[in-house]
Structure 1
Amino acid sequence: MAFFETSDGVKLYYQQQGEGNSIVLVHGWSADHTAFDLSFDDLSKNYQVISFDLRGHGSSDRPEKGLSLKRFATDLEELMEYLNLQDVTLVGHSMGGATTFEYVRNFGVHRLKSVSIFDMTPKLVNEGEWNLGLYHGKYTREDSLNDLTVINEDFSEFAKPFFKIVVPYLTEDLLNEQLDLVVDNNTPHVLSAMWHAMAVSDFRDVLPNITVPTQIVYGEKSTLYSKETAAYLASQIPHAKVVPFENCTHLLVVENPAKTTEVIEEMVKLTYNRK
């Protein structure tokens, strides 16, 4: 197992495989690097692929400090610097997408060749005229505060209704099996801090600064974000295109790893003019 130590003393687990152009995969909230496992091996046949556990997740340290998207973005920059990565295809799913937005806000695109955002919004909470956030525009500031209270009191009480919405096709037995894994593999104070971090973030002003070729990928059956959210992102990012995943929910990277591999590889080939 490989670990990298950040500038504030937190050890992050990462895996690196393959040779060639660099692809960095950033997982979502309550997940870890294994979210991309089914694509990792295929991509690494032709490219250098790096996936890692964000602080507080997976096999990385679970500190009390640095639980913010800004620190996550700094961790990402420090890891890429440590591995001497340039011209990176940066792929972010869900909170990994928020981390990507925060990365561009703080570090620009000098290290990036292209970006792929999988099923994420630039602003989670719906308020004012903004209705392209969580739950297809139906998640309010009050909802976020209520959820934070429940997560802090008993994460399992939040997890079941949340994941039932995220993956509505699971049977009760399969849902409970997955919930046991999520609850056992996560730390409530981390999840609470990062839910809050996403809820208070607004990356709409960052989008025009993503000046490298960008894919906006969304699940056509996602119960979290809509095709209108994807269209908005593509309209605000200069060189972006929308890529729908048919019959997929928010967990599209797990549900269709073959297409995940295909669209990431397509972006790498496009930006490097590979055939």
Structure 2
Amino acid sequence: MPYIKVDEETNLYYQDQGEGQAVIFVHGVMMSSRFFERQFDFFKEKYRTITFDLRGHGQSSKVPYGHTVANYAKDLKMFIEKLGLDDVILVGWSMGAFVIWDYFNQFGDEHIKAVTIVDQSPSDYLWDGWEYGAFHFEAIKGVMQAIQEDQRSFNSEFIYGMFKEKPDPVQHQWILEEMMKLPAAIASTIVFNQTAVDYRETLSNVTVPTLICFGRDDTFFPVAAGEYIQRRIPGSKLIAFENSSHCLFLEETDTFNRELDTFFQSLN
């Protein structure tokens, strides 16, 4: 299996197929690159398509350190440079969007041609006056406790909340097994960190063409959060997926792939 070494003890598992414009998909917290398998198979026919597992996740090294959004962004930059890429299109789902926004905060648009943001508010925390988050302090404290005490049960229930329609048992099972590849100690650490970050004031640092995709079902985030992002990233475009919640690339795969392909083609 192919790996990229980003520090002395950390190897990131990745897949890399196809030719032409490079597209990298960045998954969410507690998830893995497998979530993008339907995108990988579609886009590799037209693009150099790359998926990878963030440190600790999926098949990447289970190192006990470096689990912050900011450090994941550093890993992403190292990953891009080790592959010798430039003018990359980044697609970030959920926390993957945080990783992209943090990349821009640290490195600007170095190596980046365009961005797609998939169903992520600029902050998960319900700050005073901010209604588009997912957690207040008691809630995140409860999540961390649940992960530490019974990670499998927490993950199993969490999966149902990511879909507008209940996933079938086969889909639920593979998602659960992917989530269980992340050790509980790492899961609670990165869940807390990604809840505490706040990109509301730095969205304008994204200076490349941007597509914003949100599920209309607002179990996670309302489309209004996407509208907030659109107002703060000049020239960005927002698309709402009417029959999706948080996993729109699984819930409306054909529509999702088509909209991203159209966006990518518009960049030429």
Normalising TM by the smaller chain, what interval?
over 0.9
Distance, in Å, in 1 between the alignment partners of 2:172 and 2:38 is: 23
Structure 1 residue 243 and structure 2 residue 220: aligned?
Answer: no
Asked whether the equivalents of residues 244 and 252 of structure 2 are also in contact (C-alpha less than 8 Å), the reply is: yes
Alignment of 1:111-260 (within 5 A): 111-134=111-134, 139-167=135-163, 169-170=165-166, 177=173, 180-182=176-178, 184-260=180-256
Moved more, 177-186 or 216-225: 177-186
Asked whether the equivalents of residues 56 and 190 of structure 1 are also in contact (C-alpha less than 8 Å), the reply is: yes
With the length of structure 2 as denominator, give the TM-score of the two structures: 0.94
After superposition, the CA RMSD in angstroms is 1.8
For residue 263 of structure 2, what is the aligned residue in structure 1? 267
Give 1:167's aligned amino acid: F
Asked whether the equivalents of residues 241 and 248 of structure 2 are also in contact (C-alpha less than 8 Å), the reply is: yes
Distance, in Å, in 2 between the alignment partners of 1:173 and 1:7 is: 38
**5+ residue gaps, structure 2:** none
Distance, in Å, in 1 between the alignment partners of 2:143 and 2:85 is: 38
For residue 77 of structure 2, what is the aligned residue in structure 1? 77
Distance, in Å, in 2 between the alignment partners of 1:242 and 1:266 is: 13
Alignment of 1:61-76 (within 5 A): 61-76=61-76
Moved more, 180-189 or 110-119: 180-189
Deviations 1:184-243 (A, max 9, x none): 433211211110111110011220010111011001124100011010010111121101
Asked whether the equivalents of residues 164 and 175 of structure 1 are also in contact (C-alpha less than 8 Å), the reply is: no
Give 1:127's aligned amino acid: W
Deviations 1:129-160 (A, max 9, x none): 011112xxxx3122112211221222124224
Give 2:30's aligned amino acid: S
State the 1:176 CA deviation.
6.5
Deviations 1:60-116 (A, max 9, x none): 101101111111111110010011111111000111111111111111112111100
Moved more, 21-30 or 185-194: 185-194
Distance, in Å, in 2 between the alignment partners of 1:179 and 1:21 is: 29
Decide whether aligned partners of structure 1 residues 258 and 150 sit closer, same or farther in structure 2, where only a CA change above 3 A counts: same
The ranges of structure 1 where at least 4 consecutive aligned residues each deviate by more than 6 angstroms after the TM superposition are: none
Structure 1 residue 88 and structure 2 residue 84: aligned?
Answer: no
Asked whether the equivalents of residues 86 and 112 of structure 1 are also in contact (C-alpha less than 8 Å), the reply is: yes
Paired residues, number: 268
Asked whether the equivalents of residues 156 and 176 of structure 2 are also in contact (C-alpha less than 8 Å), the reply is: no
With the length of structure 1 as denominator, give the TM-score of the two structures: 0.91
Over the matched positions of the two proteins, sequence identity in percent amounts to 29
For residue 60 of structure 1, what is the aligned residue in structure 2? 60
Decide whether aligned partners of structure 1 residues 168 and 256 sit closer, same or farther in structure 2, where only a CA change above 3 A counts: closer
Asked whether the equivalents of residues 163 and 251 of structure 2 are also in contact (C-alpha less than 8 Å), the reply is: no
Give 1:221's aligned amino acid: D
Moved more, 164-173 or 199-208: 164-173
Corresponding residue SS for 2:257: helix
Asked whether the equivalents of residues 23 and 91 of structure 1 are also in contact (C-alpha less than 8 Å), the reply is: yes
Corresponding residue SS for 1:235: helix
Decide whether aligned partners of structure 1 residues 130 and 7 sit closer, same or farther in structure 2, where only a CA change above 3 A counts: same
